[in-house]
Chains A and B, each alone.
Chain A
Amino acid sequence: EAGVTQSPTHLIKTRGQQATLRCSPISGHTSVYWYQQALGLGLQFLLWYDEGEERNRGNFPPRFSGRQFPNYSSELNVNALELEDSALYLCASTPPGTIFDQYFGAGTRLSVL
């Protein structure tokens, strides 16, 4: 069974540009979660999507946005990139009805120059 897959593995952008990160959950999983792992800050919750709807949002500015598609895959968009957006972005998924036992992808490393 395929795990959570994220693309691209690495992404290099410059300040002010937009970045789009993608996540495919495990087959049968309907919830997707996005986290930011910045150096020294641990994992910070960004967004939670379930059945195509945004369920919860972390303490991030509106330039961080996303969506979930009918096949449950998800995109994270970061507009007007800033240097401090450089981080590892992790996606996780869970099956219907639970937010326990989140399964994580390997992440997308975003570097903003």
Chain B
Amino acid sequence: GDSVTQMEGPVTLSEEAFLTINCTYTATGYPSLFWYVQYPGEGLQLLLKATKADDKGSNKGFEATYRKETTSFHLEKGSVQVSDSAVYFCALTSSSGNTPLVFGKGTRLSVIA
């Protein structure tokens, strides 16, 4: 079945460092890809998405490009802030829309000043 693999955390970075969180997927057809963020004590929030190959999703300085050839959707940010400390989840859903989101296990990011 469909699955998402993301890098194990936790990831600890200093403020203004460059962030990459790797995400690869296995799916039939052409899934849509998502990054969600979960701040402490809160539910998940959609951070960005891409619905077809070569699409780039972006939001709040975060970016991810849908790479079908490498089945990847890596999350990047050029300069992280303490407020970016959270758990980040990569997810997919099928192009048919008949299946719910399939999530990776999440990557915890801690940014220190």
Question: Is A48 in the interface zone, CB < 8 Å from B?
Answer: yes
User: Which residues of A, 36-53, contact B by the 8 Å Cβ criterion?
Assistant: 40-43, 45, 48
Kindly state the separation between the CA atoms of A106 and B40 in the bound complex, as whole angstroms.
10
Say which one of A11-19, A68-76, A97-105 lies at the interface with B.
A97-105
B98 contacts which chain A residues (CB < 8 A)? 56
A45 contacts which chain B residues (CB < 8 A)? 100-102
**Contact present for A42 and B44 (CB under 8 Å):** no
Number of residues on chain A facing chain B (CB within 8 A): 23
**Contact present for A102 and B105 (CB under 8 Å):** no
Question: Is A107 in the interface zone, CB < 8 Å from B?
Answer: yes
Q: Is the interface of B mostly helix, strand, loop or mixed?
A: loop
**Contact present for A4 and B100 (CB under 8 Å):** no
**Contact present for A101 and B105 (CB under 8 Å):** no
CB distance from A38 to the nearest CB of B (A): 10
User: Which residues of B, 43-99, contact A by the 8 Å Cβ criterion?
Assistant: 43-46, 49, 51, 89, 93, 97-99
A35 contacts which chain B residues (CB < 8 A)? 103
Closest residue of chain A to B90 (Cβ to Cβ) is A42
**Contact present for B43 and A104 (CB under 8 Å):** yes
Since A58-B100, A99-B99, A102-B46 are in contact, a sample of 18 more A-B pairs with Cβ atoms closer than 8 Å, ordered by chain A residue number, is: A4-B43, A33-B100, A35-B103, A43-B44, A43-B101, A43-B103, A43-B106, A45-B102, A98-B97, A99-B100, A101-B46, A101-B49, A102-B101, A104-B43, A104-B44, A105-B43, A106-B42, A106-B43
Task: List 18 contacting pairs A-B, 8 Å CB cutoff, sorted by A.
Answer: A33-B100, A33-B101, A35-B103, A40-B105, A42-B89, A42-B104, A43-B89, A45-B101, A48-B100, A56-B98, A56-B99, A100-B32, A100-B51, A103-B46, A104-B36, A104-B43, A104-B45, A106-B41
